[in-house]
């Protein structure tokens, strides 16, 4: 992180519900939003001045960012990550499902080492990730993560072919698989599966259960882990962002925290 009180030049990649929320909630006067990366150059009147809109990762050097924070999609992670790390800017990842591809994970790691920068994966819509990562040196035996959402939240995904989303009357586990498979198959709905995996025992040993629950009013994460540290059970019920019911509010809030911790005299 930069020394307290020193300005950090920030580029946000993505101007959807999360990007807009993050820009609106950043409160530190030592964070300068100098650019917003988007897929097209159509006019966006709500981007705060004097931030520059860019559509190509190769335009990053002109903005001289210290931090590039992705809040777009898994397809944005590698091109924007390479470009950011290549100029020595730290890269904060939200679309962690992109790292289900081992080559992508290696690619970013290599670029970070070469650029003398860091890839940061923030907790997103989860809790307990700090404890899970801290427990690794003593050994973790089991990590199970249940992702419970209303049936409507699974519409438009492969879940439609795995269970009757319109007809179920009780919580239904329609997929019990690894984090790597869940993130690849459900990149938006199970994005956080890879966050859990990278914090703990890895993509292939982390068990993910995807659940459609007709009584659910929130997106719920139930995380269980066992190991030399003891046993952990945490449950988090996320309210959606008012501007996008498919996105958990905590996903945006966690990104705000990750960015502001870089300049805060006391970080937690």
Sorted by sequence, the CB contacts under 8 Å of residue 2 that are 6+ apart come out as 8, 66, 262, 263
Residue 138 burial (10 A CB sphere; 0-12, 13-18, 19+): exposed
What does each C-alpha distance from 166 to 169, 191, 251 come to in angstroms? 9, 24, 27
Residues 237 and 148: beta-carbon distance below 8 Å:
no
Residue from 105, 122, 221, 224 carrying the catalytic annotation: 221
User: Does the active-site annotation cover 221?
Assistant: yes
Which residues of 140-215 form beta strands (DSSP E)?
A: 140-149, 172-178, 207-212
The two structure tokens encoding residue 57 = 């990762």
Task: Determine the Cα–Cα distance for residues 104 and 108; give it in Å rounded to an integer.
Answer: 6
Task: Determine the Cα–Cα distance for residues 198 and 188; give it in Å rounded to an integer.
Answer: 17
Catalytic residues: 221
């Amino acid at each position: 992180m930069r020394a307290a009180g020193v300005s950090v030049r920030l580029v946000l990649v993505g101007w959807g519900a999360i990007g807009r929320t993050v820009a609106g909630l950043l409160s530190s006067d030592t964070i300068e939003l100098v650019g917003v990366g988007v897929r097209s150059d159509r006019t966006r009147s709500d981007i705060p001045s004097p931030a520059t809109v860019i559509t190509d990762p190769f335009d990053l050097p002109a903005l001289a960012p210290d931090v590039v924070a992705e809040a777009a999609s898994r397809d944005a992670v590698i091109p924007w990550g390479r470009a950011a790390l290549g100029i020595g800017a730290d890269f904060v990842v939200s679309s962690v499902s992109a790292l289900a591809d081992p080559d992508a994970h290696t690619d970013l790691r290599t670029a970070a080492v070469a650029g003398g920068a860091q890839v940061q994966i923030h907790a997103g819509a989860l809790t307990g990730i700090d404890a899970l990562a801290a427990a690794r040196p003593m050994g973790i035996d089991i990590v199970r993560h249940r992702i419970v959402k209303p049936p409507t939240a699974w519409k438009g995904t492969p879940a439609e072919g795995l269970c009757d989303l319109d007809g179920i009357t009780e919580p239904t586990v329609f997929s019990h698989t690894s984090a790597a498979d869940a993130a690849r198959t459900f990149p938006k709905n199970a994005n956080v599966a890879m966050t859990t995996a990278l914090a703990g025992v890895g993509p292939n040993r982390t068990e993910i259960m995807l659940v459609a629950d007709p009584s659910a009013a929130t997106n719920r994460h139930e995380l269980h882990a066992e190991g030399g540290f003891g046993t952990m059970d945490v449950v988090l019920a996320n309210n959606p962002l008012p501007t996008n019911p498919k996105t958990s509010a905590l996903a945006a809030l966690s990104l705000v925290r990750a960015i502001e911790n870089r300049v805060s005299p006391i970080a937690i």
